[in-house]
């Protein structure tokens, strides 16, 4: 019954949910507004203005509730909810955190709905938990199909032999390229709906593998748009990157390009062809050009962009990331480097104990 759902969170827990929401959100679902992912006052004020006149619910996702971005935003938004809804505010506030955290204590005191954040799951791996599934469901996404897709991929990569296991193949290819001097992996797709999926994928691999002075630097590009900016560097820049391209076999919708009697734009050679056909030829031409320019390419093919296939893709990357980290010789499930800046920041802010 809400106009908008405010998702408060930063890092993997936010990116995991947002990657799916931005790709698959239904048009008639509540607007998803993101908060708690920055400390910028300008961004916070702009976000607050978007709430005016809307019926909203909020969900604060914070595993240990020690990160300032979601914590400070949650404090400000709780005051807004109390001012706007009075005693009804508590029914509109949800929090997702670990049992025993100060976030749970806060929820117990004020009567907020509290959902458990799995203690043994890092934020970047939480798409198929309470953390990701609730906001995805609010966005109108069929989470049953999403989980089914992940489960199907889990069964597949656990039962396949090493020679046929696609997650293991991808993990091995990444590490072979790394040993040959390719230090950057660029994830790309020719579908703009993947723009936020790149952010999750980048965090997944950066936070899992970037340790002990090791790791492939993950990056993402949005084709064909970025071919007009990054294309020059990819084609003729330093030969230290390889590409992983997500190809979608069947589009959700398509458009036929009509003929034009005047043909003043010179595009009648496209008449009768679909936009998807043209888009795929752009992809094929790009891959060929980059491979000819000594940029290795890995192509990952999806049947279509829907909940089940996204679920498969998420589990595929999670499993491959774990395997790749093990091959590299690092622990893909911790992130000790992330905590170092926080200690300095808390000291400068004079937080007790720092």
Whole-angstrom CA distances from 211 to 8, 68, 172, 214, 337 are: 28, 24, 18, 5, 8
DSSP string for residues in 157-194: HHHS-TTT-HHHHHHHHHHHHHHTT--EEEEEES-GGG
Distance separating alpha carbons of residues 331 and 166, to the nearest angstrom: 21
Whole-angstrom CA distances from 20 to 70, 73, 256 are: 20, 23, 28
C-alpha R_g of the chain: 22
Look up residue 301 and give its DSSP letter.
E
Q: Is 256 in a helix, a strand, or coil?
A: strand
11, 40 contact by CB (below 8 A) = no
**236: which 2 tokens?**
């003729």
Look at residues 282, 199, 293 and name the one whose alpha carbon lies nearest to residue 240.
293
From start to end of the chain, where are the E strands? Answer: 4-8, 31-35, 56-61, 93-97, 113-116, 184-189, 217-222, 241-250, 297-304
Distance separating alpha carbons of residues 196 and 21, to the nearest angstrom: 9
Q: Which residues are annotated as catalytic? A: 207, 228, 342
Positive/negative CA dihedral, 247, 250, 253, 256: positive
DSSP string for residues in 66-123: --HHHHHHHHHHHHHHHHHHGGGGGGGEEEEE-TTSHHHHHHHHHT-EEEEPPTTS-G
Phi, psi of 246 (to 5 degrees): -90, 120
Look at residues 235, 238, 237, 204 and name the one whose alpha carbon lies nearest to residue 220.
204
């Amino acid at each position: 019954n809400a106009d908008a759902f405010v998702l408060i969170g930063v890092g993997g827990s936010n990116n995991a949910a947002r990657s799916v929401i931005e790709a698959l959100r239904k048009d008639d679902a509540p607007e998803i507004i993101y908060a708690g992912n920055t400390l910028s006052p300008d961004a916070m004020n702009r976000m607050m203005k978007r709430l005016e006149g809307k019926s909203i619910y909020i969900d604060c996702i914070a595993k240990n509730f020690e990160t300032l971005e979601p914590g400070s935003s949650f404090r400000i938004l709780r005051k807004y909810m109390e001012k706007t809804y009075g005693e009804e505010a508590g029914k509109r506030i949800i929090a997702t955190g670990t049992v025993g955290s100060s976030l749970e204590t806060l929820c117990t005191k004020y009567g907020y709905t509290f959902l458990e954040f799995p203690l043994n799951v890092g934020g970047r791996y939480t798409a198929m938990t309470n953390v990701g599934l609730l906001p995805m469901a609010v966005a109108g996404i069929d989470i049953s199909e999403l989980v089914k897709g992940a489960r199907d991929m889990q069964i597949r990569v656990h039962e396949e032999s090493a020679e046929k296991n696609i997650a293991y193949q991808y993990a091995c290819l990444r590490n072979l390229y790394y040993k040959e001097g390719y230090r950057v992996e660029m994830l790309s797709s020719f579908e703009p709906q993947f723009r936020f999926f790149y952010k999750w994928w980048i965090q997944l691999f950066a936070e899992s593998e970037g340790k002990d002075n090791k790791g492939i630097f993950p990056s993402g590009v949005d084709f064909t748009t970025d071919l007009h900016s990054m294309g020059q560097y990819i084609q003729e820049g330093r030969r230290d990157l390889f590409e992983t391209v997500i190809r979608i076999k069947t589009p959700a919708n398509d458009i036929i390009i009509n003929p034009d009697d005047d043909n003043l734009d010179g595009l009648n050679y496209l008449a009768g062809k679909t936009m998807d056909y043209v888009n795929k030829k752009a992809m094929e031409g790009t891959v060929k050009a980059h491979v000819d320019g000594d940029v290795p390419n890995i192509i990952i093919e999806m049947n279509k962009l829907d909940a089940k296939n996204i679920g498969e893709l998420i589990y595929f990357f999670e499993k491959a990331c774990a395997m790749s980290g093990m091959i590299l010789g690092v622990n893909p499930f911790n992130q000790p480097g992330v905590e170092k800046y926080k200690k300095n920041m808390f000291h400068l802010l004079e937080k007790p104990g720092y």
